[in-house]
């Protein structure tokens, strides 16, 4: 038997009592409907007790069930009976933020904003998303390859001392500035080729990226002046200028790889700026040669490359490793350590280039570029060990596996 009243039937006494706001004992089988009506009646009181302003929809107007019961039979919507309504049609006001009147999953799902702690979670997610976007913008994991430039230069010049950490921090700031400026300059190209990058995806605005790059540049130059004095400033200033020149102008020209190599070479000399800089020139040239090979590959990481390019860079990598390890002035274990680290460097970066030569696709070339970036600490460790800083060399080489793990989460290219 249907519980829906027939058309034209006058409202029952029970419906009229409900419309007048009187409490009516629940009928057998209608306990859920009675609980819903009771909760709707009690909600304004709970809101008032909490100090909240009563909602107009819960205090000034009756529920849809009460309005339906009070209407004359001829005006009543036959699709919404007076005495029956499903729980999903009842407008149940919340008791408080995050708790529905019936504390049911259905009513809680209607208003996710009222979930306990939802605002805090959204703010936390927003901060996390912003931090991740910034980390992607500056290629944060790749910065592990930067302090080694300064350490290798300081070891070569014999000035590995308390000033080195400050110079290394300056180097990291300038590196991150260059990465942010790179994405700002390439924002239109990335919108087509790499739309997942932070700027084209809308996670970071172009203005914010440019401001971050400028701020990091100022911080890097300032740290270099603080740690290395006027000689540190004299090296950091042209390094910063070269970074911006590469990003804005030289990158897409034939001089691009040479400009990037010059940036890395100057970075090595920054570490030696507090001592005899001339002693660090061979180390600077070695790091610059490695950087040249990585930059040449990076120019083909979107379109793919001819197999001859990774073969040529692989040849250069072998020469770089031999130069870094073959000039050791030490004997015994200190002589073997640079050779071992150089072999590790070739094994990591060289194998990636060999795979790119066998399959010169964009994915393989990008993999080789990432290997070149994350493998640089091993080369820097080789240079440091060659000049007698074995512990520093081992510490630098240990950063390479860590960098590879981080690159799996945030791309270094």
Q: What is the 3-state secondary structure (H, E, C) of 83-133?
A: CCCCHHHCCCCCCECCECCCCCHHHHHHCHHHCCCHHHHHHHHHHHHHHHH
Predicted pLDDT at 224: 97
Predicted pLDDT at 81: 44
Mean pLDDT of 90-94: 41
Q: What pLDDT digit, counting tens, does each position of 336-367 carry?
A: 889 999 999 999 899 999 999 998 998 999 99
Res. 140 pLDDT band, cuts 50 70 90 = confident
Res. 393 pLDDT band, cuts 50 70 90 = confident
Res. 287 pLDDT band, cuts 50 70 90 = very high
Predicted pLDDT at 19: 56
pTM of the model: 0.66
Given a cut of 80, whether residue 27 has pLDDT beyond it is no
Candidate from 5-9, 251-255, 295-299, 404-408 with smallest mean pLDDT: 5-9
Candidate from 69-78, 140-149, 270-279 with smallest mean pLDDT: 69-78
Predicted pLDDT at 13: 62
138 compared with 326, residue with greater pLDDT: 138
Candidate from 45-49, 110-114, 307-311, 364-368 with smallest mean pLDDT: 110-114
Going from the N-terminus, what domains does the chain have, and what CATH number goes with each? 13-110 (no CATH), 142-407 (1.10.357.140)
Res. 115 pLDDT band, cuts 50 70 90 = very low
Given a cut of 60, whether residue 83 has pLDDT beyond it is no
Mean pLDDT of 102-107: 35
Candidate from 88-97, 120-129, 354-363 with smallest mean pLDDT: 88-97
Predicted pLDDT at 238: 97
Share the mean pLDDT of the chain: 76
312 compared with 52, residue with greater pLDDT: 312
Predicted pLDDT at 78: 46
Cα 221 to Cα 177: distance, rounded to the nearest angstrom: 11
Residues 6+ apart with CB under 8 A from 12: 5, 82, 83
Mean pLDDT of 301-324: 89
């Amino acid at each position: 038997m249907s519980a829906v009243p027939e058309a034209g039937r006058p409202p029952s006494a029970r419906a009229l009592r409900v419309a007048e706001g009187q409490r009516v004992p629940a009928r057998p089988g209608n306990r859920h409907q009675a609980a819903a009506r009771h909760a709707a009646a009690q909600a304004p009181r709970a809101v008032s007790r909490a100090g909240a302003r009563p909602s107009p929809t819960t205090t000034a107007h009756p529920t849809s069930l009460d309005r339906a019961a009070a209407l004359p039979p001829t005006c009543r919507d036959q699709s919404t009976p007076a005495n029956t309504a499903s729980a999903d049609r009842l407008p149940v006001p919340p008791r408080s933020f995050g708790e529905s009147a019936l504390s049911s999953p259905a009513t809680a799902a209607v208003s996710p904003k009222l979930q306990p702690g939802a605002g805090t979670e959204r703010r936390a997610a927003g901060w996390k998303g912003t931090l991740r976007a910034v980390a992607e913008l500056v290629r944060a994991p790749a910065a592990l390859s930067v302090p080694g430039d300064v350490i290798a230069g300081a070891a070569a010049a014999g000035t590995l001392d308390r000033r080195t950490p400050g110079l290394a921090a300056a180097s990291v700031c300038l590196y991150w500035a260059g990465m942010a400026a790179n994405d700002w300059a390439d924002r239109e190209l990335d919108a087509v080729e790499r739309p997942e990058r932070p700027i084209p995806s809308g996670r970071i605005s172009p203005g914010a990226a440019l401001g971050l790059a400028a701020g990091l540049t100022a911080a890097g130059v300032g740290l270099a002046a603080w740690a290395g004095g006027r000689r540190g400033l004299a090296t950091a200033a042209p390094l910063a200028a070269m970074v911006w020149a590469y990003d804005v102008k030289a990158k897409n020209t034939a001089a691009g790889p040479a400009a990037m190599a010059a940036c890395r070479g100057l970075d090595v000399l920054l570490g030696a700026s507090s001592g005899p800089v001339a002693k660090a020139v061979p180390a600077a040239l070695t790091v610059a040669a490695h950087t040249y090979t990585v930059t040449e590959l990076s120019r083909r990481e979107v379109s793919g490359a001819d197999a001859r390019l990774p073969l040529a860079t692989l040849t250069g990598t072998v020469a770089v490793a031999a130069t870094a390890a073959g000039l050791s002035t030490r004997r015994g274990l200190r002589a073997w350590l640079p050779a071992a680290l150089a072999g590790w460097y070739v094994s990591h970066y060289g194998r990636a280039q060999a795979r790119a030569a066998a399959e010169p696709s964009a994915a393989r070339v990008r993999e080789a570029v990432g290997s070149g970036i994350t493998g640089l600490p091993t080369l820097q460790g080789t240079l440091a060990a060659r000049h007698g800083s074995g512990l520093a060399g081992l510490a630098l080489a240990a950063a390479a596996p860590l960098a590879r793990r981080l690159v799996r989460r945030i791309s270094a290219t």
